[in-house]
Amino acid sequence: MTKSAGGPAGPRETARPAEDRRVRRTRSALRSTLVELVLNKGFHAVTVEEITEGADVARATFYAHYRDKEDLLVDVVRELAVDRERLLPAVEQARAEGFTGLPVLYIFQHAAQEKPVYQVILRGEGDGRALREFTELICERVELLFRERAEQLGVTPRVPFDVIARAWTGELVGVLTWWVENDTGYSAAEVTGHLRDLSVYGRVWASGLTPSDAPGALDAGSR
């Protein structure tokens, strides 16, 4: 009995890594095909049949992994999030060294490497869930970073952290969308430098003005 119980277990254990690789390859092929099709014709026009044909995967195999194409799109977002975990070392370094801009640079470099996926997400394809998840992930980390930095320096924010984080994230997502969709002429390092200076010195400085030139400055100063 021990042999019969243990016999089949051996082959299953040795086969599992190969099976996992097949699953990863299948999922990767389906994700890549979805991204390509969405960029060519839009998410709502894409069918499951087109996805399986393009990925050379049987329909039954598709439904063994995903409920529908919306579920597959969510997997595209999650896989990108896993890949973006490479940002964490830069975030940790930024916490130790001050505002270096490294996390932003990593995002732009990652977007350059995975441009089609970022385009699908930033365009809000599907029901916009991909873009919402992408935005929320960045926003949560940015707010945490700002809070921790303020605590370390013993300072009190003049604007609530949740407002700061969402304004910063909105600015980043807006510029990132423009950057991946167009030939802007700016490298990842250059656009990161501009965003860093904008964050550190503000829009008034970035526009070449002085605080006294800012709209409402005199009214604010008289209060």
Kindly state the percentage of the chain with pLDDT values over 70.
78
| pLDDT of 88 higher than 60 | no
Listed range (7-11, 139-143, 149-153, 207-211) with the worst mean pLDDT: 7-11
Q: What is the mean pLDDT of residues 8-28?
A: 68
CA angle 86, 87, 93 (to 5 degrees): 115
Kindly state the percentage of the chain with pLDDT values over 90.
50
Classify residue 55 by burial, with Cβ atoms within 10 Å: 0-12, 13-18, 19+.
buried
137 vs 191, more confident: 191
Query: Quick one: pLDDT at residue 134?
Result: 84
Query: Quick one: pLDDT at residue 202?
Result: 87
**Per-residue DSSP letters for the chain?**
-HHHHHTTHHHHHHHHHHHHHHHHHHHHHHHHHHHHHHHHH-GGG--HHHHHHHHT--HHHHHHH-SSHHHHHHHHHHHHHHHGGGHHHHHHHHHHHS---HHHHHHHHHHHHTHHHHHHHHTT-TTSHHHHHHHHHHHHHHHHHHHHHHHHHT---SS-HHHHHHHHHHHHHHHHHHHHHS--S--HHHHHHHHHHHHHHHHHHHTT--GGGSTTHHHHHH-
63 vs 209, more confident: 63
Listed range (48-52, 57-61, 107-111, 160-164) with the worst mean pLDDT: 107-111
Query: Quick one: pLDDT at residue 4?
Result: 46
**Domain boundaries, given as residue ranges, for the chain:** 16-66, 81-209
Query: Quick one: pLDDT at residue 221?
Result: 45
Query: Quick one: pLDDT at residue 98?
Result: 53
Q: State the pLDDT confidence band at 140, using cuts at 50, 70 and 90.
A: confident
Are 38 and 91 within 8 A, CB to CB? Answer: no
Number of Cβ within a 10 Å radius of residue 117: 24
Query: Quick one: pLDDT at residue 142?
Result: 85
Q: What is the pLDDT of residues 187-219, one digit of tens each?
A: 999 999 999 999 888 888 888 987 776 666 555
172 vs 15, more confident: 172
| pLDDT of 80 higher than 90 | no
What is the architecture of the domain spanning 16-66? Orthogonal Bundle (1.10)
| pLDDT of 9 higher than 80 | no
